[in-house]
Structure 1
């Protein structure tokens, strides 16, 4: 059997002439040669390139003439103006290499290590902000006044209105909820978080009767309010297939009011960003998270901006997906974008000290915070530090 019948004929390999490159160093003995002697300024590589260029130019001219003859046969009525328009159109089309290069993502800025003095002048990192509380807060005296500052009447009005709207679908089960009933209900919830009993009804049962709870509201009234408690107009609820669907839409109005009150408090010099788990046994799809390192492993994930005093100045509750990075901020990944969003309410150039753990840490984040005059302090492990 002929091998060529099975494998096919072997393609002929075109042999190209070998090129030689002559490299003359900058400082050589040729500098001592007199000007009377003449040398050829063309090296073999340059000569070969000129020959190839002249031959390729001749081939291009022949191809252009053949192409014009084909166009004349296909489009005999085509004028010179049409030809110029066609040539301009083909010249303006991007090449495949240009399209491939444009589709590539922009490369991140490379960080370069440099030897520098780490001792800073204290005046350059001194806190320039003010921690003085406004008069609205300084005039608060009683615990109830502090509570009403953080949980204003607008929030109570929202709960009262939306709960009554939802209860209207079941008129036989609940009488209208009043402003005072909401305050009583919240007070009982806070008290139950301190005095724990197996079930809600134990606070009204004999033997486990709690006077400070039972004398404020009946058990049936408490359970009815708990059943119809709402913070959102159910008639405006978006479905999961809606592009603007929000898993936190039922509590978003209340969260907005609470954030507005927290942002009224001036920020401290030392701030920390970390996550917390709000424990829950509810099986809310897409919202409940698991973290084995937390005391409460199952719950709602909440990112918090806090101070050394323990006060929380801002928060971001995870709703199933992470939003885009803030405006005019680079995309630093999920952890870095969380830090940038929470610091969006903190004034720049005031030398705040920011503390984050290793999950948020990246050199890009540290460099970005340094540009805004934040003194960032991070906890880093050996494994993660070795990547940079």
Structure 2
């Protein structure tokens, strides 16, 4: 659900230069942490490599306030594990479509495995594990999981931009083949990113997760198909990582010392800091599935209204059903944890589903669809 008005145009920042000092400090801090060394141990390791005595205090200063010397940075680059130079991200794409109740019943044949309150089908996607979730009121959502190993955020942003159209086309063809309906089409892709292996630390890690939550900000729409697209995205990434990135429509749902989490109109990004206390990956996935299923159904209803028609909906899924759906999405559960509530609230608020539901409920009430 990418809304052009919500995309930040970075062309106005083309004259900015990255803060190399901040990037160098982050590089040193990341190297020490990836090796699992204390300041003293890291200083002992660097001393013979640079040929002069390195103190623990100097290491700490280079990580926080001073600029690390060039020979130190070169030494660091030779000992940092290769994996520390690439970010490990698990991408969850939710590709949604309204197929209609008859098609949903055809897809959800008896004996299909169920996920919560709806059946699922395995789908053969060329780049990852994929399941098709089917709701009885006519919504179908492909949940595609892809493991990414990216050298920087710019590569991820360009990959995301380019893969969305391919995945929409693929989902549309799959649904038309499965339902036998030529008019069926996937309408949008919403992404959730689980950052399990970061290449940033401290404040820069927080900034990186904000960018992952809305990676479109790195892609210049006028250059999206050109050879310079990646280079422009890399320049924008360096600027934002050094200067910080904040957007007034992005919501945080992380917990200090436990996790970092952000939700926006473009998607959701989460990084577990404490595996024992953080949210489970499945919790975020289940919340997004419920939100996007409601969104796709409301999109169908509201599109009919905008086209001048009274909504045609399946029996039992009128305004009372949507009222119950709104309650399930927005009201806290008795045994719900604070982390889960914060996550749900952030996703619901940034998705705009509450307003979408209100419009659909009003339309169904006016049309006499209980």
Q: Greater Rg, structure 1 or structure 2?
A: 1
Bigger proportion of residues as strand = 2
Bigger proportion of residues as helix = 2
The question of a shared fold, defined as TM-score above 0.5 by the shorter chain, is answered with no
Query: For the superposition of Structure 1 and Structure 2, which TM-score range results when normalised by the shorter chain?
Result: under 0.3
Higher RCO, 1 vs 2 (CA within 8 Å, ≥6 residues apart): 2
